[in-house]
A and B are shown apart, each in its own frame.
Chain A
Amino acid sequence: MPGAPSSSWISFLAAFGAGGLLTLMILFNGTLAMHGSLFFSSWVPHLTGTFAALGLLLVLRPPRAASVRPPLWAYLGGVSGAVTVMLTSAAMNTALALSGTIALGLAGQVLFSLFADMRGFLGLPQRNPTRRDFISILLIMAGSLIIIFYGGVT
């Protein structure tokens, strides 16, 4: 691929690898939830994560990208993430079950991200998905749905 920045390979692998981390997180936090309350299984990783992130910040000292202060709402991503856990746990104990909840969640996530890209939502770069993006999304969603409903992934 002439002209393609080599960094795109790194992004590609990083995102795919992050998906692997997510599987481990779900396994660890889910195991915690089997013994303790659902709140506890979300509270503990937030608590230990706060200290882990603080430690990493002190060691790595990443430079600030901009001297201008970000808007206050930009600090509220954690609220959205915490509400996700609560909604998911409430939905999966219904007729939707875990499979249906995961599948609908993936659909919501993909639709939101397409909308966010097209609008440049919340100040991130605007970009229009290409035809290949849509084909790629359809294939990955189809594969995911087969695994969720027929492959026995829990």
Chain B
Amino acid sequence: MLGFIAMAVIAGMLVGLSRQINGRLALSTSAMESSFWNHIVGLVFITAVALMTGGLFAGDPWAAPWWAWLGGPIGVIFIAAGSWLIPRIGAARTAMLIIAGQMVSGVVLDLVMGAPGSGIARAAGVALIFAGLWIARTDENA
């Protein structure tokens, strides 16, 4: 169990590491170029691992709805945004604001899709997040 906990925590750390490395690349190139390298290097890496383990085309991926294929271009903007932000506002603020946006939009998406869940918990969570955003926003050192 401890091993799985470590895996989940390390996965989160790697998100930060990836953003830090891409941000460093953007300092020498540009945010969009760092996003390009992130994608092509990731593509080569995943292809290599998938060739070793096999099963890349398992299942019936062609049955997925058309919009499920659109994650790539969105990811390009997401990675470029992270690379642009991290030297400007720092790693912690970048992570914190992205998490806030992810959580609030996740609640909105769940409401739109009618996903089951506690309304009170969602409202309390969003309220705490907005309080945190407000405190970050009124920081004179921002």
Contacts and interface: CB of A to CB of B under 8 A. Distances in A.
Contacts, number: 457
Contact of B40 (A28, A50, A68): A50
A145 B103 CA distance: 10
Contacts of B133: 16, 136, 140
Interface string A60-93: 1011111011110111111111111011101110
Nearest to A83: B14
A104 B5 contact: yes
A53 B58 contact: no
Interface in B64-114: 64-65, 67-82, 84-107, 109-110
Interface residues of B, number: 122
A153 B118 CA distance: 10
Given A22-B101, A143-B124, A47 B43 contact: yes
Nearest to B26: A65
Contacts of B25: 70, 74-75, 77
A31 B50 CA distance: 20
Contact of B97 (A12, A25, A130): A12
A21 B72 CA distance: 11
B34 A48 contact: no
23 contacts: A12-B142, A16-B97, A16-B98, A19-B104, A19-B105, A23-B105, A24-B71, A64-B28, A80-B14, A84-B11, A84-B18, A91-B7, A104-B9, A108-B8, A108-B9, A108-B16, A110-B99, A129-B90, A135-B135, A143-B129, A146-B128, A147-B121, A153-B103
